[in-house]
């Protein structure tokens, strides 16, 4: 593979050849068009091969013992950490492995409620999130507020699906501001610099949910100046069971552990323990070793294509989807119709046809989309909806798949409009 600015059809054919699942013929007799990468992405053979190679040659527990396999496994694990950290603009010791982004966000929310934390949250403090969030960046903060007696506040969302920066004014009571980088429903990006500036002005920490940005475009957490950020391996061509938390080093160094046990200690007596420096302090127990190797392979794969090329390719698909759906009068797109302000996911509803039924017709066509509230129930409620259809993209998707999506939506409208209306 060569680094290119643009993915032409030959490049795309090569990419698709790395994902055997894309050749599957589904139960309706049609080839799979996988438009649910926002939920989980497919994995290239390079990722699977890397895990298999590791497991068949170098598997061992990391950071313990002294045999050769342990050394090789530790090297593979830490080399993976360095590559994954570099992919998001971080140094290796700024990346903590978790089982997924949800665990990463829970980790932050727990240590910020710990009385050993320099930034401990308590009664009278304010925790800020947004109405745009996935449940994973909302419920941990609800729970932190419940545990500590702090108050939860949030930025609202405008009618066109942007964060409403006028809906909340921060003051010194605000201790943490947690927000998504890209909405997993409206596809809108948050004004990170503005939110970071507002948080800094009142001394609040920032937590970025980067699940829907890291797989799709170049992301540099240090340049974004956020304090913490979370992302998930399985949404970026990597394995399940591996996610990561980025944290600024001076913060990580000053924070207590979340999960405790093996591997995260310095000295242990029957009465007490002292803890290892980051990142090990936050990585209790045997880690997801082959998954880190697999995620590192995913990072190599994406880097070889180039994240700018990935972003440009997906943007063309998003633009085509918005244009195609806009031509169908029954379709209401959630979020802005202007492709210039949108990223991968495109969620929509079809007047007169429930999202589940649209999804069922698309499934019959081999087109896999997400239906439901996409773990963003408050956001759906904000738009007066219970459920929507969501198409989301990855580097392996094609314009033809977008055409099949649009044709499938038209078929759903015909199917439910004509039949049963007598």
Partner 1 sequence: MRLEQMYQDVILDHYKHPHHRGLREPFGAEVYHVNPTCGDEVTLRVSLSEDGERVTDVSYDGQGCSISQAATSVLCDLVIGQTVGDALKTVQAFSEMVSSRGADPGDEHVLGDGIAFAGVSKYPARVKCALLGWLAFKTAAAEATASLCEEKR
Give the closest residue to 99 by CA, choosing from 265, 276, 211, 231.
231
| Structure token digits, residue 388 | 């929507």
Shortest distance (Å) from residue 159 CB to partner 1: 20
Shortest distance (Å) from residue 273 CB to partner 1: 39
For partner 1, the closer CB: 9 or 418:
418
Residues 6+ apart with CB under 8 A from 328: 350, 406, 409, 410, 413
**Number of other CB atoms surrounding residue 301 within 10 Å:** 22
Q: Which residue has tokens 């896999």? A: 368
Report the length, in residues, of the chain.
422
Cβ(75)–Cβ(292) below 8 Å: no
Q: Restricting to residues 24-83, which ones interact with partner 1 according to CB under 8 A?
A: 27-28
For partner 1, the closer CB: 262 or 352:
352
- 126 in helix, strand or coil? strand
For partner 1, the closer CB: 280 or 388:
388
Instruction: Give strand ranges (E) for 248-386.
Output: 265-268, 273-275, 331-333, 346-350, 367-368, 370-372
Residues 6+ apart with CB under 8 A from 412: 350, 353, 357, 358, 361, 362
| Structure token digits, residue 153 | 């506040």
d(CA 329, CA 352): 11
For partner 1, the closer CB: 104 or 358:
358
Residue from 310, 334, 371, 413 touching partner 1 (CB under 8 A): that is 371
Residue from 56, 269, 272, 421 touching partner 1 (CB under 8 A): that is 421
- 415 in helix, strand or coil? helix
Contact letters for partner 1, residues 341-370 (x by CB under 8 A): -------------xxxx--xx--x------
Contact letters for partner 1, residues 1-30 (x by CB under 8 A): --------------------------xx--
Q: Among residues 375, 395, 402, 405, which one is catalytic?
A: 375
Contact letters for partner 1, residues 298-337 (x by CB under 8 A): ----------------------------------------
For partner 1, the closer CB: 192 or 406:
406
Shortest distance (Å) from residue 10 CB to partner 1: 35
d(CA 232, CA 97): 10
Residue from 31, 200, 319, 415 touching partner 1 (CB under 8 A): that is 415
| Structure token digits, residue 287 | 């880690």
Q: Restricting to residues 377-396, which ones interact with partner 1 according to CB under 8 A?
A: 377, 380, 386-387
For the question of residue 211 being annotated catalytic, the response is no
Catalytic sites, residue numbers: 375
**Residues of the shown chain interacting with partner 1 in the complex, contacts defined by CB under 8 A:** 27-28, 354-357, 360-361, 364, 371-373, 377, 380, 386-387, 415-416, 419-422
């Amino acid at each position: 593979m060569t680094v290119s600015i643009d993915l032409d059809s030959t490049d795309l054919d090569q990419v698709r050849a790395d994902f055997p699942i894309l050749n599957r013929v589904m139960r309706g007799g049609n080839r799979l068009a996988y438009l649910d990468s926002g939920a989980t992405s497919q994995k290239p053979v390079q990722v699977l091969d890397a895990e298999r190679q590791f497991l068949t040659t170098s598997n061992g527990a990391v950071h313990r013992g002294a045999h050769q396999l342990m050394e090789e496994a530790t090297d593979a694990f830490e080399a993976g950490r360095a590559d994954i950290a570099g992919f998001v603009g971080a140094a290796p010791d700024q990346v903590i492995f978790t089982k997924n982004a949800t665990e990463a966000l829970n980790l932050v929310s727990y240590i910020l409620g710990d009385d050993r934390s320099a930034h401990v949250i308590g009664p009278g403090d304010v925790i800020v999130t947004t109405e745009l969030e996935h449940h994973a960046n909302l419920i941990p903060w609800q729970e932190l507020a419940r545990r500590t007696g702090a108050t939860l506040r949030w930025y609202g969302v405008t009618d066109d699906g942007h964060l409403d920066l006028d809906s909340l004014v921060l003051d010194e009571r605000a201790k943490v501001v947690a927000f998504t980088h890209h909405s997993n429903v409206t596809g809108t990006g948050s004004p990170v610099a503005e939110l970071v500036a507002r948080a800094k002005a009142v001394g609040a920490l920032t937590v970025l949910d980067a699940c829907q940005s890291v797989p799709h475009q170049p992301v540099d957490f240090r340049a974004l100046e956020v304090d913490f950020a979370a992302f998930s391996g399985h949404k970026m061509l990597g394995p399940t069971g591996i996610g990561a938390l980025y944290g600024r080093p001076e913060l990580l160094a000053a924070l207590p552990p979340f999960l405790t046990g093996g591997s995260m200690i310095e000295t242990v007596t029957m009465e007490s323990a002292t803890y290892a420096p980051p990142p090990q302090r936050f990585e209790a127990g045997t880690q997801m070793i082959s998954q880190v190797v697999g995620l590192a392979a995913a990072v190599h794969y994406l880097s070889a294509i180039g994240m700018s090329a990935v972003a440009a390719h997906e943007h063309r698909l998003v633009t085509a989807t918005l244009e195609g759906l806009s031509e169908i009068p029954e379709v209401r797109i959630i979020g802005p119709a202007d492709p210039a302000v949108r990223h991968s996911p495109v969620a929509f509803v079809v007047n007169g046809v429930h999202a589940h039924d649209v999804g069922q017709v698309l499934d019959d066509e081999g087109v896999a989309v997400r239906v439901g509230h996409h773990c963003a129930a408050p956001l759906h409620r904000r738009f007066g909806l219970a459920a929507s259809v969501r198409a989301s993209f990855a580097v392996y998707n094609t314009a033809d798949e977008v055409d099949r999506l649009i044709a499938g939506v038209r078929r759903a409208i015909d199917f439910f409009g004509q039949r049963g209306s007598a």
